[in-house]
Chain A
């Protein structure tokens, strides 16, 4: 049977790994290539790079990191942050990324998702949705790392990206991100029930129980986390053994 994936995410700024608390206060914590290799050696099911400066700065840095990482890690590599054009995608895929994650550009123009999935195949197009709760059981899509409100309903948008060929949704709760208080399970459940493509849960992991909740209560196909792995609180192996002990199937 298909296993639930555990995906460590490395936020990269200026070629270095950082993890922001609510996207502000950044801590420098290492070389991305080395980190990715450690994760893949320790059983990560996939590696995710999020280039958090890509919107304004030179993209060459991340491409070079992807190129180096892809030569050493033989598990899927997803790269997001500032992916706006077909050329951006081509550059990342040629450098060795297996999937790209599109965020703001998908909100601005859904045809971009359609065009990208037609050109490269749905298998490599992930749409990252940053959602914030606005009312009970109602979430809105935000862009630019949670700074800009869009007025778009998250559930409707999730359905729309599926219709337009996205292969996966990377769903981040902006309310939970950086809080270590667990995923927004209601949001997750609502989106996984409204779509037929895999959803990756993101934002808020503080304990291994949160990973369990994301999969079992939220219905996520994969769970993404950054800081709990990054600062060594838990190893990927700990997470997998824990989930396995609670009868959640993982790749051991």
Chain B
């Protein structure tokens, strides 16, 4: 099996590469590339994302044909794709970080700043938080409810259709969407690649799909 980590200059992806390489050891071939021909022909895609929503969308758009290739892969051919952090957020129609920016529009919804209750809650939401599993998701196989995952973000994805939400986390006044699953599309707001052994298990689940 060939799995591609999309390298579109979206900031630091070393940790994503390290953890996927560790889990894939000897079983799965991991390629880090922005080559759309390779992306088109692989079996699974990891879409990482760091920095702002706008800078990530802008970087995706800078690689000719990349957005269309990803769409063909994930939406038309319905092959498995996992978005991490801003990689997940970009599934939305629109994001409000830095400036109003159009997202990929794969899962209808918006990405807006977490309400910090006039400074009562610190932002970014950094550190380990428990995930509350909201529905059965293939990437949560053998993951216990209330497992700890590592988060670092100030914006949250708010999907229109709540049935896509597979897990939430408690922060500020409400439950933040921290994982989604819609058909072949998977996304985590937290960083499985930085979430110790339990995070590596999520990666393993995705690679085994």
Chain A residues with a Cβ under 8 A of chain B: 1-5, 40, 45, 70-71, 74-76, 93-98, 119-124, 167-168, 196-198, 221-222, 251
Contact = CB atoms under 8 A, between A and B. Distances in A.
Looking at A70, A121, A122, A168, the one whose CB has the most chain B CB atoms below 10 A away is A121
19 contacts: A1-B171, A2-B170, A2-B171, A40-B196, A70-B18, A74-B193, A75-B150, A76-B152, A93-B14, A121-B11, A121-B50, A121-B55, A123-B152, A124-B11, A168-B126, A196-B122, A196-B123, A198-B122, A222-B127
Interface in B140-198: 148, 150-154, 170-171, 193-197
Contacts of B193: 74
A3 B169 CA distance: 12
B12 interface: yes
Interface in B108-158: 116, 119, 122-130, 148, 150-154
Nearest to A200: B126
Contacts, number: 102
Given A75-B150, A98-B12, A123-B50, A3 B129 contact: yes
A200 to B, nearest CB: 10
A76 B194 contact: yes
Contacts of A3: 127-130, 148
Contacts of A167: 124, 126, 152
Contact of A94 (B14, B124, B200): B14
Contacts of B12: 93-94, 97-98, 120, 124
Interface of B: 11-12, 14-15, 18-19, 22, 50-52, 55, 116, 119, 122-130, 148, 150-154, 170-171, 193-197, 199-200
A74 B200 contact: yes
Q: Which of A1, A4, A123, A221 gathers the greatest number of chain B CB atoms within 10 Å? A: A123
A70 B12 CA distance: 13
Given A1-B129, A93-B14, A123-B50, 7 more contacts: A3-B148, A5-B127, A74-B199, A98-B15, A119-B51, A197-B123, A198-B124
A120 B116 CA distance: 23
Contacts of A222: 127
B200 to A, nearest CB: 6
Contacts of A40: 196
A208 B89 CA distance: 39
